[in-house]
Amino acid sequence: MNTSNNTILITGGSAGIGFEIAKALSSDNRIIITGRNPERLNAAAAQLPNTTAILGDVSDAKDVETLVATLGKNHRDLNIVINNAGKSAPVYNLATEGVDAFTKAGEEMLTNYLSVIRLNEKLLPLLKKQKEAAIVNVTSIVAIAPGGRLPSYSASKAALHSYSITLRQHLANSNIKVFELYPPLVNTEFSAEIGGAINGIAPSIVAGDLKKGLEQDSFDIRVGQTAELYQYYLADPQAAIKVMGGAEA
């Protein structure tokens, strides 16, 4: 995959992994970032060359319609979509009464899984018009072995992982390549509650590995310890799950 002279949409691109991906690609590509916070979104875009900000929430149907219409009108050469926007509920235990796991799971599934399906489907007609195109779905190390402290987040990323495999099969004979990016624990505000500042890798490493994976057409991009854990999981699934931690919360 060519990593220059593309028009790239990055959802959740105003901070964390999304911002670092935009930073890594913005010098040689045209970047569109989305986010829900206007101040943070505009501040992020101001730091990056060749970058346009579009305010919106990927879990909001009206915002998605507006985004798709704007892309179709002003960015007709869009050829890469990076589905990075995510949501994680505070740490909780499924066995504890009153945690309202149903609501937490619903919010995470909507943002992390269902919203990706909706946006991809609506952008496929535009992507199919390009000579070369790609969809990147950002899952997680917990898509392989669930983390006990993030039960419904883990489930949403596992669903996105399964969907990514099927989408790749369905687009196998098209111009669209489907990549899956698996970050480990990353030092971002998003992962602060589960120790990202102490044990997480820099988001710039994730961005760098994504760029390399795109260049090499590595459709499964397992960053850092995710690659090691994947091999561990293949050898001993229960041990790998244990490594990811129990359900204390």
Active-site positions read: 153
203 touches 164 (CB < 8 A): no
Place of tokens 């057409």: 217
Distance CA 201, CA 62 (A): 35
Give the Cβ contact number of residue 203 at 10 Å.
Answer: 24
Please list the residues that pair with 178 across neighbouring strands.
135
Contact assessment for residue 48 and residue 71, using Cβ atoms and an 8 Å cutoff: no
Give the separation between CA 197 and CA 11, rounded to whole angstroms: 23
Distance (Å, whole) CA 237 – CA 25: 36
